[in-house]
Amino acid sequence: MAGAPMSSRQRLLAAVRHEEPDRVPIAPRLHWAWIDPHGCHGLRQRYEPWLDPMEILSPRTPNYLTTYPAEYHLPEVRVTQRRWHDEPYDVVDRTFQAPAGTLRDVTRIPPAGREYGMAPNPIQTEYLVKSRDDLPALRYLLPPIDANFDHVVARQRELGEDGVVLVNIYSELCHQAGDARAMQDLMQDYYLDRPLFDELLAIFQQRTLAQARAALEAGVEWIFANNYYNSVSAGWSPAHFAEVFAPHVRQLVGLTHSYGALVDYYDDGHLAQTMGTLADCGVDVLETCTPPPLCDFDLATAKASIGDRVCLKGYIDLLYVVLRGSPELVEQTVAGAMEIGKPGGGLILGSSDSFREGTPPENLVAYFEACRRHGVY
């Protein structure tokens, strides 16, 4: 029987420690549903008090691989940037003249809010790194790590017992090596040009660890390890993952734990073949635990095999259950997840990614109501 009601922070920490809180924490990704102009945003005031927020904030180090500002703060680099519209895209063509060489990339940016969705991904048609000869010049495009995390510490203080704050730390691939060189080329490099592959990943693994260390030194309590480029769903094999990426995850986890902080590992793709490796790496939370048919995560299998070591987060299918399903299906899915995942703690019920624009409000209502009804211990 549940004791006194817990704060959101207490509830989340209890779940991570594999203790049974007063109820299962509710922490879906809601951004796109909340701002949907067709009605879901009206539910925010009603259901936000039920949430156990896990807010994700970004470091302040610029990333010029994925942003296209009017001004670049690269004192040793001459940047030439041309923009034009090629319906329906905005095209950005950039040339970086660095002391060690010249790099160029071209990106086509789809319009937001149309057929491509509310936040479409840009399409790179030319990448900066074409060969190993480009790596010395690439280093000039990487600004020094900004160690100022006052915005995170202030938000932690402001939120207090009403949730937790995480800092988004990208893996060596996510919006780093995987945006400097095409992922399909990196996969070939593993076999055909291993020196290029190893050196490029090492450059960005060093930045990942430096960014995490700066955050931890500033007092950040949670690292959001953003690793979806490293996923089996991106095309890497489980063997690639175990050989190349798992050691990098262990480095990040070891660093984070040395500061008494926690790691929430994010992969919104297939996890069945890598979740055991990730548990061995020591991650504290694993998300998004996406079930079939979108991915391959079986909650019962995971609970039995790694559930005593890793807190499982997410699971509820945003597409076929919450976006396209019925309130009855949402209710059944949440109830089933609670039955499997709730015993012994170690579950934060969320979503397989952010609930999307166009989600029926009645399905979100069913989600929250079912979480509260079936989540109590």
Q: Is residue 117 part of a domain?
A: yes
**Coil, strand or helix at 171:** coil
What is the Cα–Cα distance from 254 to 224, expressed in whole angstroms? 14
Same domain? 82 vs 230: no
Distance CA 284, CA 269 (A): 18
Characterize the bridge pairing of strands 123-126 and 101-109: antiparallel
At 372, the amino acid letter reads: R
- Residue 259's domain is classified under what CATH number? 3.20.20.210
| Per-residue confidence (pLDDT) for residue 318, from 0 to 100 | 95
Residues 6+ apart with CB under 8 A from 49: none
pLDDT value for 36: 66
Q: What is the pLDDT of residue 87?
A: 93
Same domain, 86 and 188: no
Residue 316 tokens read as 């509820």
- Cα–Cα dist 77/82, whole Å: 16
Q: Provide the residue range defining the domain that includes 185.
A: 8-61+144-374
Same domain, 207 and 90: no
**Residue corresponding to tokens 């919006």:** 175
Based on the fold, state whether residues 95 and 217 are members of the same structural domain: no
Nearest to 249 by CA among 346, 332, 347, 171: 171
Strands (E) in the chain, as ranges, are: 54-57, 78-86, 89-98, 101-109, 123-126, 164-170, 222-226, 262-267, 285-288, 311-314, 347-349
pLDDT by 10s per residue, the chain, length 377: 456 899 999 999 999 999 999 999 999 988 777 776 666 667 777 888 889 999 999 999 999 999 999 999 999 999 999 999 999 999 999 999 999 999 999 999 999 877 777 788 999 999 999 999 999 999 999 999 999 999 999 999 999 999 999 999 999 999 999 999 999 999 999 999 999 999 999 999 999 999 999 999 999 999 999 999 999 999 999 999 999 999 999 999 999 999 999 999 999 999 999 999 999 999 999 999 999 999 999 999 999 999 999 999 999 999 999 999 999 999 999 999 999 999 999 999 999 999 988 899 999 999 999 999 999 99
The C-alpha atoms of residue 212 and residue 28 are separated, in whole angstroms, by: 24
pTM of the entire predicted model: 0.96
Q: Is 57 inside a domain boundary?
A: yes
